[in-house]
Amino acid sequence: MLLCLLIGALCLSRISATNSSSSSKEEPDAYFPPMEWSDTFDWKLLKAYSTPNYRNVLVSPIGLKLVLALLYEGSGGLTEREFQNNLQFPLDKQHFRENFQNILQALQPSERKEYILNLGTRIFLDSRLTAQQNFAAKALHNYRTDIEKTNYSEPHEASQTINSWIDKLTNGKVSHLISPGDLQDAIMIIANAIYFKGTWRHQFPKNNTALGGFYVSPSEIVTVPYMTTTDAFYYFESNALDAKILRLPYKGQNYALFIVLPNSKAGLSELIKKVNLHVLKKELYLMDKVPVEVRLPKFKFNFQARFTKTLQDFGLRQMFQNTASFPGIARGIPNLLRMLVVSDIIQKAGIELDEEGSVVYAATEVQVGNKFGVVDYVFNATHPFLFFLEEQTKGTILFVGKVENPLETNAVPIPPRFGESQGAQPYPLSNTPNLQPANPERDAVIRRFNYFDLELLKEFSESPGNVFISPASIKTTLALILEGAKGISAEEIENALRVDDINDKEIREILARLLFDLNDSTSNTVLEAANSIFVSDKFSVLREYEKKVVRYYKGAIKSLDFSNVNAAVKTINAWVANATHGLIQQVVGNQNIFADTTLVLANALYFKGKWKTEFDPAKTKEKCFHSLTRGCINTPMMQISDMFNYNLNIDLNAHAVELPYQDDKYAMLILLPTNGNNVRTLTRDMQHAQLNSIIDGLKPMDLHLEIPKFEIEYQIDLVQFLRPLKIQEIFGAKANLSGIIGRENVRINNVIHKTRVEVNEYGTRAAAVNTAVVIPLMGSSAQRIIADQPFIFFIYHRESRNIIFEGLFVEPTLSSIPPKTVATNPNQYTVRSGPNYHPRYDYSRTNNRYQ
């Protein structure tokens, strides 16, 4: 029998007056959610225990995940596959354990003046067995877990040993968890304990504490003590959740308690239904630091639960059955090893939120309530609410819970072990929670702003050959023009981008998020954007326009002598080459720059990313790619089998596959037409679709994926493609760009867009001017997705859904060898297209293209 014990103790208190002077030495309190913040498991676990059977709830997701991680390390066969299929534990255990190692590094036990954090895991193994050497080494190195041999034939002594370890780690908060009777048939016990005690950064004066009514239900009120303070807190009123979100930081910078208070007195159950990883993370990004009057009840309660039934509902069944397989944990007596089955997983947790240690506090020393005068925001927690405690550097959720009655202090009686009684059914879970809008009106503005991306792609549906463009770069350039455009010139761009007023606060926030996404790099993924305006030395840019370029776009104004055409071309191309890390060496030539040129707006974008799962180059094989015009072309096809997000989109009649890059910030989405459809039709249909709905429809699935290894270099004058989108005035004699130079006889001759992308087994490299990018690809599984015909692809920011690049892969040609020739070595060549330059459209040839 294998028994898992998880213990959590959470003590939240305000600092005493003797330490109050130290608050002035604290670093400024700044908060921004980590990109890897939390995961879906944390919120599934909360929902499972948010039934009416449980009033006050406290669980520690990280404690449970740590125990499950140890079990996964030693599992095999079907038991191992259940972890992979139902908890999305990766096949690559090395990456998995390194991730836990990083989390535990941030959570390493610490006893500081500001807070105390104790976290420990220990395996108590039957003395007749010996831990596998490899398992013991990984448990200690990656999971900070040691193994102690225990004589379960002496249950009194064994229970005392385990309880003593737990008592010490929780500072006496949990002193007796195991009784001798619990150790009957025990072979191994995994115990995890976490204890946190923090002191508020912003104090609750004790003389402000007063009794008040708490609505246990809309019609039932209980009297509880309320703590009150006023200070600057991160705060947000969420329309998506119909709730207020408040962040209460602790001293020491690393931890904070978040409270989510529904707007209605009976709104907690509905709030918990809405809460999921994507929604909550999106809302946390919108929090602002503002003065808030906080009124919070003091409360204290214990909670204990058996996770067996819940985990079985999550799909983990094998480890609780006689067919469980844990060959990697221990060796020894065969009969004992066959009994290595998880019998139960128990967690006991407790929380205290009060003014412990504040008895010497003098109210005259802190007059927080008067510091801000009349405040606009009041956070009055007079009815049930949700809370969670976060470690802020990694976004790890230590505890999550709800409070329905602050006066209830005792734990709900722990249900019997699974099999003895079914107990309460957990709250039904959604396998793929939908992304909820942060604000219905604001979300609609974002959707309209992103319509441009797919409308622009549609204009390329009949273009010959491959296409690769950067909507993000193009929109940035149009926004730079819009900042100085007036009259009809401005209206046309506003209509195309669905921007009513570029100076509107919401529009500024959307543009700011886009620009943030374009400079959001990590050690494994690089995305950099640069903006520069080259203005003739005969003119000067208006001061107001220059301020906007610098403030909102982090751009630069550079004076240039366009009368020396060769030198001007060289200067601009050198800037482009530097901004794109050499991926694009030239974007303008003497045919684009003239002696009377007034200014050149340049935007460059560079992306480099490695696939989260790389393709094996040894598996790359020559296969037939079915071109629309040339029939079968032998092409090096990369292949992989793995778990990917996938959906057969019936509306578009296309396969949709998401290939994530390392760090999970960015991904490539491939849309492959099904039989009977073609990429031209799919491209036209895309303007009626929404990228959000396509992505939200994806679900994890085992795939066998094959995609071509390719490069595209693409150059285009965008004028002919912007005119159908009704952006016309800025290219003609009536252009009004007087907000840039101050002259009215300035127009835009052309908008040159040059891009380059390289996709291989390790990743993808792409670049464009206005953009430059480098990126990688991956894929795999049971369902076979073979991209041996033209397809659409997008590279986008996964959290914001901003499209960085989009393209059509229509026809490969092989570099270094004639078209239609088979390469003898598939790894010797990469499929390339271009450079493909499309000159400006001649409008004198037709009068009906844009009717």
Q: What percent of the chain has pLDDT over 70?
A: 77
Q: Provide the pLDDT for residue 25.
A: 56
Q: What is the mean pLDDT of residues 162-191?
A: 82
Q: Provide the pLDDT for residue 377.
A: 67
Q: How far apart are CA 295 and CA 289, in angstroms?
A: 17
Q: What percent of the chain has pLDDT over 90?
A: 7
Q: How far apart are CA 755 and CA 478, in angstroms?
A: 17
Tokens 């273009």, located at residue: 463
Does residue 463 carry a pLDDT above 50?
A: yes
Q: Provide the pLDDT for residue 770.
A: 40
Per-residue DSSP letters for 741-770?
A: SS-SS------EEEEEEEE-SSEEEEEEEB
Does residue 359 carry a pLDDT above 60?
A: no
Q: Provide the pLDDT for residue 259.
A: 92
Q: Provide the pLDDT for residue 458.
A: 84
Does residue 842 carry a pLDDT above 70?
A: no
Query: On the CB side of 303, how many CA atoms lie within 13 Å of its CA?
Result: 26
Q: Provide the pLDDT for residue 783.
A: 63
Q: Provide the pLDDT for residue 246.
A: 93
With H, G, I as helix, E, B as strand and everything else as coil, classify residue 683: helix
| pLDDT per position as a tens digit, 476-524 | 888 888 988 899 999 999 999 888 888 777 787 777 777 766 666 666 7
Strongest mean pLDDT among 225-234, 385-394, 425-434, 738-747? 225-234
Burial zone of 112 (CB within 10 Å; 0-12 exposed, 13-18 middle, 19+ buried): exposed
Q: Which of 87-91, 319-323, 413-417, 693-697 has the lowest mean pLDDT?
A: 413-417
| pLDDT per position as a tens digit, 368-421 | 223 344 456 666 776 776 766 766 666 665 666 767 676 666 544 444 443 333
Q: How far apart are CA 508 and CA 548, in angstroms?
A: 11
Amino acid type, 225: P
Contact of 518 with 579, CB cutoff 8 Å: no
Beta strand ranges found along 493-586 (DSSP E)? 525-536, 556-560
Q: How far apart are CA 186 and CA 34, in angstroms?
A: 41
Q: Which of 86-90, 158-162, 514-518, 643-647 has the lowest mean pLDDT?
A: 514-518
Beta strand ranges found along 92-218 (DSSP E)? 110-111, 115-126, 129-131, 145-150, 188-200, 210-217
Q: How far apart are CA 145 and CA 135, in angstroms?
A: 10
| pLDDT per position as a tens digit, 414-435 | 444 433 333 323 222 223 223 3
Does residue 615 carry a pLDDT above 80?
A: yes
Q: Which of 167-171, 457-461, 832-836, 841-845 has the lowest mean pLDDT?
A: 841-845
Q: How far apart are CA 764 and CA 661, in angstroms?
A: 10
Dihedrals phi, psi of 571, to nearest 5 degrees: -65, -45
Q: Provide the pairing of β-strand 525-536 with 556-560.
A: parallel
Q: What is the mean pLDDT of residues 560-571?
A: 90
Does residue 581 carry a pLDDT above 50?
A: yes
* Contacts (Cβ under 8 Å, ≥6 apart) of 813: 633, 819, 831, 832, 833
Element (H, E) at 514: helix 505-517
Q: Provide the pLDDT for residue 388.
A: 66
| pLDDT per position as a tens digit, 3-32 | 565 655 555 543 333 333 334 456 778 888
Q: What is the mean pLDDT of residues 159-174?
A: 85
Does residue 639 carry a pLDDT above 50?
A: yes
Q: Provide the pLDDT for residue 851.
A: 29
Amino acid type, 265: K
Q: Provide the pLDDT for residue 443.
A: 64
Q: What is the mean pLDDT of residues 250-273?
A: 87
Give the predicted TM-score (pTM) of the model.
0.48
Q: Provide the pLDDT for residue 663.
A: 76
Does residue 457 carry a pLDDT above 50?
A: yes
Apex 717 CA angle, 716 and 718, nearest 5: 100
Q: How far apart are CA 474 and CA 445, in angstroms?
A: 18
Tokens of 75: 């599992």
* Contacts (Cβ under 8 Å, ≥6 apart) of 153: none
Sign of CA dihedral 480, 481, 486, 492: negative
Q: What is the mean pLDDT of residues 230-250?
A: 91
Q: Provide the pLDDT for residue 819.
A: 34
| pLDDT per position as a tens digit, 288-314 | 988 988 988 887 877 887 888 888 888
